[in-house]
Structure 1
Amino acid sequence: MNRTLGGDPLNIATYLFEDDGRMPNNPDLPAIHYAGAFRDDPLGAEAKLNRNNWRNSWVNGVFAYHHYHSNAHEALAVLKGSARLLIGGENGQTLEVQAGDVLVLPAGTGHKKLGSSADFSVAGAYPDGMRYNTRTGEPGERPQALEDIRRVPLPDRDPVFGEEGPLLTYWSRKRS
């Protein structure tokens, strides 16, 4: 899907991953990569996420081990640098991200950093400022994690575009 932001074309890609036995991923909602969403002001991305009701934000990096959040969806806006991220578990998709990109991960989607530039940093944020957990795919956490994933509500706003963004279309099949 192509869309514009500030007059520039924006490339939006989606990825749907199956449960791999360790990373549950999300059975219904695709991960969304907004390449270049904030290319003109990557350092302003966190504030824009917050204005679009994706809050409880932080700035740091991405763990270099597989993990996921079973109780919240997550938006990752690349503020500086670049990285190679593996999403969807060991057999998932490797994405190259750079300053200005946004990656939206539905609850349960595995992700880890494979490598990055020295200055790589991201802002993470969650719909309605939800609190998030961090799961690593241990067998004992799985039953509760699967239940948590099913219960996570859909956001009412796209983290990049707000009230009329593509996330609302891509994730609409679960909307009531």
Structure 2
Amino acid sequence: MDISKKAAVKKYFLEPTALVPNSPQPLLHYSGLLKDKCNPVNINEQFDKNEWRTQWIFRYGPTQESHYHSRIHECMVVLSGNATIRFGVADTSDDLEESTYRGACEQGGVTIDAQAGDVFVIPAGVAHKTHNTSPGAPFALLTPGKGRGIEATNPKGALEKIKLSGFTMMGAYPKNCGTWDFSVGGEDVGNFEATWSVAKPEKDPLLGAAEQGICGQWKDITLSKRQDKRAKL
């Protein structure tokens, strides 16, 4: 699956907030990269080739808590449906109606309309919240296990059996880097630097060594400027 020639990347640099570390590396959005190619089996093979590991396929409900992963980078591929994803800010209310539709969230961030074929590469620390999903369907984990790996003797066979409905995404993380945590904001205040220092993977999850992916878009960083900004919050 050679898709690097058609990859057009959008970059979003998200500054730290009072509750969320975000990252010196940009959020990457490959709009429509896998349009008409949303086959979980083929995508999983590409992840594996580039040393990333599929951990889940979720069908999303109407909304969710804003959250981030403090010690691991993430790739999300939209397999079906449409949704809105808000990046870069924490919820400021436990009430999902308030935090999704009535402005109970931090100021800033970016909101992106997502559709089947879109790919997001999310640096460790960048908050994200998926909502306004369509077609409407209840939340469900579609892969066998607990969402931290495909727990099946034949992962390919398990992926082949999945029937997509509603808004679904497939998530992968660099191999040998553990599994994701679920931080909603505030957990790492005073230690954002640990999240900013998570190592850059050697390859992009789908584009490998191509310059359009993280190999060209994520740079070696120094933390001094970001530490200065954090001190002013």
TM exceeding 0.5: yes
- Is the Cα–Cα contact under 8 Å of residues 125 and 196 in structure 2 kept in the other structure? no
CA positional deviation for 1:147: 4.1
116 and 47 in structure 1: CA distance in 2 versus 1, 3 angstrom threshold = farther
Answer with 1 or 2: which has the greater Rg: 2
Alignment pair present for 1:32 and 2:28 = yes
Distance in 1 between the 2:171 and 2:83 partners? 15
Which runs of 5 or more structure 1 residues have no equivalent in the other structure?
A: none
| SS in structure 1 of the partner of residue 220 of structure 2 | helix
**1:103-149 CA deviation, whole Å, 9 max, x = no partner?**
011000000012111311111111125222110113x54235x2431
State whether residues 44 and 54 of structure 2, in contact with CA within 8 Å, keep that contact through their aligned partners in structure 1. no
Residue matched to 1:151? 197
Pair 34,129 (structure 1): closer, same or farther in 2 beyond 3 Å: farther
Q: 4+ residue runs of structure 1 moved beyond 3 angstroms?
A: none
CA distance in 1 between partners of 2:194 and 2:36 (Å): 36
**Greater shift after overlay, 36-45 or 72-81?**
36-45
Compared with structure 1, are the counterparts of its residues 100 and 17 closer, same or farther at alpha carbon in structure 2 (3 Å cutoff)?
same
Bigger strand share: 1
Instruction: Give the TM-score normalised by the residue count of structure 2.
Output: 0.65
Indicate if the aligned counterparts of 2:29 and 2:118 stay in contact, CA closer than 8 A. Answer: yes
Aligned residues: CA RMSD:
2.2
Matches of 2:118 and 2:128, distance apart in 1: 16
1:58 equivalent in alignment to 2:105: no
In structure 1, distance between residues paired with 2:84 and 2:110: 10
TM-fit CA distance, 1:93: 0.7
Within 5 Å, give how 1:130-149 maps onto structure 2: 130=177, 131-138=179-186, 140-144=187-191, 146-149=192-195
Is 1:120 the counterpart of 2:162 in the alignment? no
Matched ranges for 1:3-152 at <5 A: 5=3, 9-26=6-23, 28-43=24-39, 44-61=42-59, 64-89=64-89, 90=106, 91-118=108-135, 119-130=166-177, 131-138=179-186, 140-144=187-191, 146-152=192-198
- 5+ long unaligned stretches in structure 2: 90-105, 136-165, 223-233
| Distance in 2, Cα, partners of 1:58 & 1:113 | 16
More displaced, 41-50 or 152-161? Answer: 41-50
Shift of residue 5, structure 1, vs aligned partner: 2.8
Alignment-mate amino acid for residue 121 of structure 1: T
SS class of match (1:55): strand
**Match of 2:28, SS?**
strand
Q: TM-score, normalised by structure 1?
A: 0.85
What secondary structure, in the 3-state scheme, does the structure 2 residue paired with 1:47 have? Answer: helix
Measure, in 2, the Cα distance between the counterparts of 1:92 and 1:6.
Answer: 28
Question: Residue 123 of structure 1 aligns to a residue in which SS?
Answer: strand
